[in-house]
Structure 1
Amino acid sequence: MTPTEPILAGFYPDPSICRVGETYYLITSSFEYLPGIPIHTSTDLVEWHFVANALTRTGQIAEHGGYPSAGIFAPTIRHHAGRFWIIGTDVNGIPLGQGHFLIHATDAAGPWSDPVYISGAMGIDPDIAWDREGTAHVTWCSLNPDEPSILSAPVDTETGAFIAPPRQLWQGTGLSFPEGPHLYQIDDWWYLLLAEGGTERGHAVTIARSPSLDDPFDAAPSNPILSHRSLPHEVQNTGHADLVELPDGTWAAVHLGVRPRGQTPGFHVNGRESFVVGIDWVDGWPVPDETRFTVPPTDRSFTDRFDATALHGRWLGVGRFPETFARPAPEGGLVIDAESRPGRAMLAARATDAVWAASTRFDAATGVGRFLVRIDDTHWYGLTYDGSTVEATIAIGPIEHSVGQWSVSPGSVPTLLMRAKAPRPLPHGATSEPDLVELALESEGTEHSFGEFDGRYLSTEVAGGFTGRVFGVQALSGRIRVDEIRYAAETSL
């Protein structure tokens, strides 16, 4: 059995990677959450550190309604001529002719430039590659029915204009949804790496090559080169890979995968995660070695009392930048303001562990707040506090159901608790649910649990889409002041 630990756990899908010297840079999709496109770095491909988000202001991406699984799709990062470059798709901008965008920075930590839009390239999952003459080529999955499959065109990076008309490179091996292209010029060949089969259980990595961009691309004889479809592996949905050359001339690749749990069909709850594999070159084709890298378990616990001058980059808004509704409180902590402007005022972070606990304390003297874990607006479990009463609610599709209330003593502020717990095994040893989500509170030294609820309803298999669970605090009305939010990679805090 090959290793199962991701390099980025939780909702970090569609990884793209580049190397500068001894340092690797990795970005992932962020969909409806802002700031967008998280950037991580590593020197060994195993231990990764968050650096920054690339999209941090409205001049780069417009705020929107937080439509589920919209926003930023499958960006690519590259380094060329002293600059980092990111090309991505904002699907909210496609109707405006502003789908594909290109930004750059001299430092991966930013600041990143305002976008240049690639007009005339309707589609998703763009890639950028420079040939040996220095011409940039943008490659994408076309959504134009008159020009299907994978298209590529040379582009002026300063204006976004095509230098020549797009050409079709390859239509894949025949599996569904050929997408996620990455184009590389290696030795005497152009290689085109694709994701095929859809980003569910049939996901796979395929590759083709050609001596030039004007000649047909020939598929590798061993396609798909990476897939876990129909295999009894703890990691499924493997695909959407990106290659990188190491300083010693060897190669590796990053790819996405999920870790489903529970009975058929299996349920993944924390989203599509990022993994790493080694790459051998055999007869001119890349062959993944899934045992080359050992990724140790990582403690991702944190406590944030919001006493820094700026929010940590882990904190996200749903279709809004956190700075539009959250600000430091003069007496300490963070004010979340539902009345600052229309739209959702939720401060969220990714859930990253199979079992975990999170807690918060917030003052609701001038508003109503909710502590919740969510996949989207219609799939969430939460605790609402109005200063006197805590109410536990579960939302499953069109149904919102209160599962209990607890009155809080005057003058006290309860600690609100959520726990993602291992499910109870059935008599034959299997489990029905991926996990159980407990909603509870602690007040005046006493803990009260509202119950444990089936985690399947907060899974991608039930809710759909491309994201994973996030948790956090939302102001429903007025203003609340958050003292702290804690997260622990265990079920007790």
Structure 2
Amino acid sequence: MSLPNPLLSGFHPDPSVLRVGDDFYLATSTFEYLPGIPIFHSRDFVTWTQIGNVVTRLGQLDVERVPTAGGAWAPTLRHRDGVFHLVVTDAFGRGTLHFSASDPAGPWSAGTVLHGIDGIDPDLAWDEDGTAYLTFSGLGVNPVLPTFMQHRGLLQARVDLSAGRALEEPRSIWSGGGGQFPEAPHLYRIGEWWYLVIAEGGTERGHSVSVARATTPEGPFETAPGNPLLTARGTNRPVQNTGHGDLVLGPNNEWLLVLLGVRPRSMTRAFSALGRETFVSRVTWGDDGWPAFEPVPLAPRPGGVAWREEFDADLGPEWMAVRRFPSAIASAGGGSLVVRADGATLDDLAPAFLGRRQQHQTARIRIAIDVSRGIGGLALRYDERFHYSVVAGGGRVVARGRIPDFESRAEQAIDGDRVELEIASRRPEGDPFEARTSDVVELAVVAGGERTVLATLDGRYLSSETTESFAGRVIGVVALEGEVSVDWFDYAGSDE
């Protein structure tokens, strides 16, 4: 079986995967975006369809007030006795949460706070008698506790999911081979052993996967020979930062490890424009009972992808807003998308912005927009500090590149209130030795059938390494004044 890599392209970090019968489900982090925590489904592990989101209503997460990069961190998706379970950290918000649903497409429960747990990257496992174990990384993210931003290694506690509390003081179990930030623990019963798969080394270039095992879920755990068993650090592999893995028995009963990674570019492969994506590695088991993970290959899906959203119905689950739900600022149907301004700009924590992930390193996004009742346009966003945009209104089009302490602007007069706006991402031209960026971003306007590039910007400033962001590029419609109406949203992308 040939598997694509990335499995889910674009901003899809911290994957957790689950098999129920012949169906596979996968969840990823979303941080301050809403709706939160997408759920994907596949039958063949190749074609993945987003079937819903866990967080679809107010109160489930507290991302409205969290700082940038807070919110939904590292979900773990599991299934037991006909019920789907998801545990996640609402970092700097509600804390460690447990959600449940009878259908992974939703609706999901309101989310129960697990009192007595202060950490990130929670994992959920049950032993033979039904005792639930929560294993997590002990980085304190509750600002009111003395452990705030202290890392206490990997911890575990028995929990009562119905009551929402730990049944004991969390205890240390195992913290890897000495790499920084031991995190992303996942605990499994496979054969006679309980295996603990973790990440260590930090989620950047030192990221790695290490394994330990024990005869009980509480340990003591013995370390696998040769840990870490998977890492790209110090290599020239095209997929870097590989870690945060979750095991699953895949199609044809082949063991797989789903994990995150990045695709860096530039002369020194220093910049990852799309952020952390979901990849997959094959797993084999030795006679000694230890797993071995293949290095993560780069295998982009062949050909290009092109789609057009004409807004004939409600928005699909892929559309996201920042710190609020799309319905708070936008409505779709009848052949148009209307986005309403509320005084916020792209420099604010909650802009009137509605977008989708950029999923290809070469991409062109174009919209047809009516600005007769306002000012707005197309924006490429990492966060409130790093974003590029091209907006129209008041008889002009303005292209803007915004990074901390610097802004680039260009503008052009236009006739009329209906215009096509475009943001394109492409490989830099010339000698690869001189290509010291991830990509080149063009901000353009199409008027009277003629395309005019207003600004050509360096893409490295919208990369995960420059922004130090946990998220990735999201491209969409922004309203700055009044309201704007979009007839269609056109996306074309390729990784070849």
Q: TM-score normalised by the shorter chain: which range applies?
A: over 0.9
Moved more, 196-205 or 451-460: 451-460
The CA distance in 2 between the partners of 1:304 and 1:472, in whole Å, is 12
How far apart are 1:142 and its partner, in Å?
A: 0.8
Change (3 A) 1:249 1:303: closer
Q: Distance between the aligned counterparts of 2:375 and 2:161, measured in 1?
A: 48
Which residue is equivalent to 2:76? Answer: 76
**1:109 matched to which residue of 2?**
105
Tell me the alpha carbon deviations over residues 201-254 of structure 1, each in whole angstroms, 9 at most, x when there is no partner.
Answer: 110000111112444211100211111111111000000000012465441110
The answer to whether the 8 Å contact 2:173/2:220 transfers is: yes
Match of 1:136 in 2: 132
| TM-score using structure 2 length | 0.92
Q: CA offsets, 1:425-456, max 9 Å, x none?
A: 22x65522111000111111222111321111
Aligned-residue offset at 1:176: 0.5
1:396-419 per-position Cα deviation (integer Å, ceiling 9, x unaligned): 1122221x2111113x51100111
- Equivalences for 1:312-391 in 2 at 5 Å? 312-328=316-332, 332-339=335-342, 343-391=350-398
After TM superposition, give the deviation of residue 133 of structure 1 in Å.
Answer: 0.9
Written as runs of structure 1 = structure 2, the 5 A alignment for 1:207-356 is 207-246=211-250, 249-264=253-268, 266-282=270-286, 283-290=288-295, 296-297=301-302, 299-308=304-313, 310-328=314-332, 332-339=335-342, 343-356=350-363
Q: Deviations over 1:135-188 (max 9, x none)?
A: 111111112558811111111111211223322111211000000111112222
Does structure 2 retain, via aligned residues, the 8 Å contact 1:189–1:210? Answer: yes
Note closer, same or farther for the CA distance 1:272–1:113 as it changes in structure 2 (3 Å cut): same
Match of 2:210 in 1: 206
Secondary structure at the counterpart of residue 456 of structure 2: strand
| TM-score, normalization by structure 1 | 0.93
Cα deviation, 1:470-490, whole Å, max 9, x if unaligned, reads 111111121111211111115
SS at 1:381 equivalent:
strand
Which runs of 5 or more structure 1 residues have no equivalent in the other structure?
A: none
1:422 is matched with which residue?
A: 427
CA distance in 2, matches of 1:265, 1:296: 21
Query: Residue 43 of structure 2 aligns with which residue?
Result: 43
Question: Secondary structure of the residue that 2:122 maps to in structure 1?
Answer: strand
Helix, strand or coil at the partner of 2:92: helix
Note if 1:189 corresponds to 2:198. no
User: Secondary structure of the residue that 1:365 maps to in structure 2?
Assistant: coil
Looking at structure 1, the residues matched to 181 and 102 of structure 2 have their Cα atoms a distance apart, in angstroms, of: 34
Distance 2:494 2:259 in 1: 27
1:16 aligns with 2:16: yes
Q: Distance in 2 between matches of 1:147 and 1:212?
A: 25
Instruction: Supply the distance in 2 between the matched residues of 1:161 and 1:372 (Cα, whole angstroms).
Output: 42
- The reply to whether residue 479 of structure 1 matches residue 492 of structure 2 is no
**Aligned 8 A contact 1:278 1:292 in 2:** no
Cα distance in structure 2, aligned partners of 1:215 and 1:291? 29
Q: 2:177 is matched with which residue? A: 173
Aligned counterpart for 2:438 among listed residues 423, 434, 438 = 434
Aligned residues of 2:6 and 2:298 also touching (Cα < 8 A): no
Q: Which residue of 2 aligns with 1:6?
A: 6
Three-state SS of the structure 1 residue aligned to 2:165 is: coil
Distance 1:429 1:161, change over 3 A: closer
- More off after superposition, 332-341 vs 80-89: 332-341
Q: 2:377 & 2:284 partners in 1: Cα distance?
A: 50
Once structures 1 and 2 are overlaid, which stretch shifts more, 175-184 or 209-218?
A: 209-218
How far did 1:62 drift? 3.0
The structural deviation recorded for 1:4 is 7.7
C-alpha contact 1:47 1:295 (8 A) present in aligned 2: no
- Structure 2 counterpart of 1:409, from 412, 415, 426: 415
Partner of 1:61: 61
- SS of corresponding position for 1:232: coil
Contact kept in structure 1, 2:284 and 2:293, CA below 8 Å: yes
Other structure's SS at 2:179 match = coil
Moved more, 29-38 or 247-256: 247-256
Tell me the residue number matched to 1:398.
405
Task: Return the match for 2:114 from 118, 121, 131.
Answer: 118
Question: Residue type of the partner of 1:470?
Answer: V
> Do the aligned residues in 2 keep the contact of 1:45 with 1:276 (CA within 8 Å)?
no
Give the counterpart letter for 2:49 in structure 1. H
Q: Comparing 199-208 with 320-329, which one deviates more in the overlay?
A: 320-329
CA contact (8 A) 1:34 1:321 kept: yes
Question: Relative to structure 2, which stretch is displaced further, 279-288 or 351-360?
Answer: 279-288
SS class of match (1:237): strand
Contact 1:74 1:89 in 2 (8 A): yes
Supply the distance in 1 between the matched residues of 2:488 and 2:92 (Cα, whole angstroms). Answer: 33
CA distance in 1, matches of 2:134, 2:164: 10
Specify the alignment match of 2:26 in structure 1. Answer: 26
Conservation of the 8 A alpha-carbon contact between 2:122 and 2:185: yes
CA distance in 2, matches of 1:409, 1:224: 61
- The number of residues matched between the two structures is 481
The 1:296/1:421 distance shift into structure 2, 3 A limit, reads closer
Q: Distance in 2 between matches of 1:433 and 1:227?
A: 24
Give 1:3 shift. Answer: 8.5
Identity %: 41
Aligned position for 1:446 = 450
CA distance in 2, matches of 1:360, 1:293: 31
Q: 1 CA distance for matches of 2:404 and 2:297?
A: 42
Following TM superposition, by how much is the alpha carbon of 1:350 offset from its aligned partner in structure 2, in angstroms? 0.3
Q: Displacement of 1:65 after TM fit?
A: 4.8
In 2, the alpha carbon distance for the partners of 1:111 and 1:138 equals: 23
> Which residue of structure 1 aligns with residue 96 of structure 2?
100
Q: Note if contact 1:325-1:340 (Cα within 8 Å) is conserved in structure 2.
A: no
Aligned CA distance change for structure 1 residues 394 and 140 (closer, same or farther; 3 Å)? same
The alignment partner of 1:68 has SS state of coil
Q: Does the aligned pair in 1 maintain the 2:205–2:240 contact within 8 Å?
A: yes
